Amino acid sequence: MKAFPTLIVCEHCDAVYRRPTLAPGEGVRCEICAAPFLRLSRLDVDHWLALTMTSAVIYVIANVCPIIRVSFNGLHNETTLWRSVAALAHGPVTLMAVPATLTVIVVPLLHMLLLGWVLLYARRGRRAPGFRIVMKLLVTLRPWSMIEVALIGILVSIIKLAGFLHVVPGVGLWAMGVLTVLFTLIASPDTRHLWSLTESDVAV
Amino acid sequence: MSMRPRAHELGVIGCHACGLVCEAPGTTTHATQCLLCGAVLHARRPNSLSLAWALLWAAMIFYIPANLLPVMHTDMLGSSSGSTIAAGIVEFWKSGSYGIALVIFTASVAVPCAKFLIIGLLLVTAQRRTPWARRERALLYRLVEQIGYWSMLDVLVVAIVAGLVKFKSLADIEPRLGILFFGGMVILTMLSAMQFDPRLTWDGNET
């Protein structure tokens, strides 16, 4: 079997192109289906890694600190992101806690850890141990990360509860806002580009 | 339509995971692996249409109890009530929060219904291999890919609200069965859209 590294195929319509050389920040759309199919990020590997590590720190804050605090008739209560999804596990909808935990907590964390792992090696032009598996996982995980949906969910909840409770946004909410921006930044560059930036130590 | 060659005509496959273009395995039906990343290569996703149809039907069936059953149960100073998704939207609208009512309506009603229609349309047209409106269908597919997961909003709102309002006998909110069906519907439509192979839109007769 042969491979053709000078070609590229649009994954949305199967049109074949010669692989173009792109400048950072430049992208091309498919002539046939108009899908944006190749894009080179403005971030270089060092910036990418730095942002990934920053998001990991913010992620910890967003998960440990309370996102909302409510008071009702002199009673107080507060919740963290983790406690919210765990709340689904009580009552008749236990099953729903699984996808909620995965999309809001597990998948984003896994995404940051795996991305950090390959980038750490990619800075030196090397492929991290497990590179193949990690790269495939990153492609699979991407659509299941829902941090931005969680952020809007928190805001809607605040408005919903503000009608009959005293609601105070917590540190965790601000951290979620920052995390949403950072996560979008680190998750949008095409990870497939890392294949051409690195060389394996052993022959594939 | 332009004369640009397509991968299956040239006997090559683009790897969905790493982008490398590999030689297609010829007439044999054996699955091949990408030379670079080892992902299994398919010229077209196997059983794409029937799997996408099955998941879409399952999602539409889930959407019925999701709307009929209450998504949460509120116990407030002795009086208790269950509320459905629609009741939640109406409540926001009546209290004057038109913006929030619109956000929830979009995420819980407009987006799921649009997804059912769009995926259904993509599947029917791909099945007929019609050249009709291919560029527009490709655009619809990308739209579904990008907006699909926003429907998860209502599930998370119920989770947060239920997690917070726990004041013993004074006030208590619990999630109810409707939200399980709703969440299931969101996941099933996402899987259905992922099963659909967008390259099928471009197969069949030229204009």
Task: Inspect the interface and report whether the beta carbons of B17 and A90 lie closer than 8 Å.
Answer: no
Taking the Cβ of residue B38 and every Cβ of chain A, the question of whether any pair is shorter than 8 Å is answered with: yes
Task: Inspect the interface and report whether the beta carbons of B170 and A10 lie closer than 8 Å.
Answer: no
CATH T-level fold of B47-202: Butyryl-CoA Dehydrogenase, subunit A; domain 3 (1.20.140)
Asked if residue A110 belongs to a domain, the reply is yes
Residue that wins the pLDDT comparison between B33 and A149 = A149
Per-residue model confidence as pLDDT tens digits over B134-161: 889 999 999 998 888 898 998 999 888 8
Per-residue model confidence as pLDDT tens digits over A176-187: 999 999 999 999
Q: What is the pLDDT of residue B29?
A: 58
Report the chain B residue with the minimal C-alpha distance to residue A7.
B21
Asked if residue A129 belongs to a domain, the reply is yes
Taking the Cβ of residue B96 and every Cβ of chain A, the question of whether any pair is shorter than 8 Å is answered with: no
| Closest to A192 (Cα-Cα) out of A116, A115, A123, A120 | A115
* Alpha helices, H only, chain A: 45-64, 81-87, 97-101, 107-122, 131-141, 147-162, 171-187, 194-197
Give me the residue spans of the domains in chain B: 1-43, 47-202
Average pLDDT over residues B32-43: 86
Task: Label residue A203 by pLDDT band (50, 70, 90).
Answer: very low
Average pLDDT over residues A162-174: 90
Instruction: Judge if A89 and A27 occupy the same domain.
Output: no
Instruction: Judge if A85 and A26 occupy the same domain.
Output: no
Instruction: Judge if A62 and A74 occupy the same domain.
Output: yes
Instruction: Judge if A55 and A133 occupy the same domain.
Output: yes
Per-residue model confidence as pLDDT tens digits over A34-65: 888 888 888 889 999 999 999 999 999 999 99
Instruction: Judge if A88 and A118 occupy the same domain.
Output: yes
- Residue A109 domain boundaries: 43-197
Average pLDDT over residues B166-177: 84
Q: What is the DSSP letter of A78?
A: E
Task: Label residue B207 by pLDDT band (50, 70, 90).
Answer: low
Asked if residue A97 belongs to a domain, the reply is yes
Asked if residue A69 belongs to a domain, the reply is yes
Residue A202 has pLDDT above 60, yes or no: no
Average pLDDT over residues A60-79: 90
Instruction: Judge if A97 and A136 occupy the same domain.
Output: yes
Q: For A84-93, B24-33, B76-85, B181-190, which range has the lowest pLDDT when averaged over its residues? A: B24-33
Task: Label residue B19 by pLDDT band (50, 70, 90).
Answer: confident
Instruction: Judge if A58 and A34 occupy the same domain.
Output: no
- Which residues on A lie below 8 Å from B200 (Cβ)? none
Chain A nearest CA to B187, separation (Å): 9
C-alpha radius of gyration, chain A, whole number: 21
Alpha carbon distances (Å) from A102 to A109, A111, A114, A143, B56? 10, 11, 16, 12, 22
Q: What is the pLDDT of residue A201?
A: 54
Q: What is the pLDDT of residue A204?
A: 41
Alpha carbon distances (Å) from B40 to A133, A173, B199? 13, 41, 17
Average pLDDT over residues A106-132: 93
Asked if residue A96 belongs to a domain, the reply is yes
Test the B interface: residue of A22, A146, A160 with most B CBs within 10 Å? A160
Asked if residue A203 belongs to a domain, the reply is no
Task: Inspect the interface and report whether the beta carbons of A143 and B156 lie closer than 8 Å.
Answer: no
Chain B nearest CA to A200, separation (Å): 10
Task: Label residue B6 by pLDDT band (50, 70, 90).
Answer: confident
Give the highest mean pLDDT range of A66-70, A178-182, B5-9, B75-79.
Answer: A178-182
Asked if residue A126 belongs to a domain, the reply is yes
Only one residue has tokens 């297609």, namely B24
Average pLDDT over residues A105-132: 93
Instruction: Judge if A186 and A118 occupy the same domain.
Output: yes
Q: Average pLDDT over chain B, rounded to whole?
A: 88
How many distinct structural domains can be found in chain A? 2
Task: Inspect the interface and report whether the beta carbons of B159 and A192 lie closer than 8 Å.
Answer: no
Task: Label residue B195 by pLDDT band (50, 70, 90).
Answer: very high
Q: For A144-153, A185-194, B52-61, which range has the lowest pLDDT when averaged over its residues? A: A185-194
Instruction: Judge if A72 and A162 occupy the same domain.
Output: yes
Instruction: Judge if A189 and A153 occupy the same domain.
Output: yes
Q: Are B12 and A5 in contact (CB under 8 A)?
A: no
Instruction: Judge if A152 and A51 occupy the same domain.
Output: yes
Residue A200 has pLDDT above 70, yes or no: no
DSSP for A108-152 reads HHHHHHHHHHHHHHHTTTBPPTTHHHHHHHHHHHGGG--HHHHHH
Taking the Cβ of residue B17 and every Cβ of chain A, the question of whether any pair is shorter than 8 Å is answered with: yes
Instruction: Judge if A152 and A90 occupy the same domain.
Output: yes
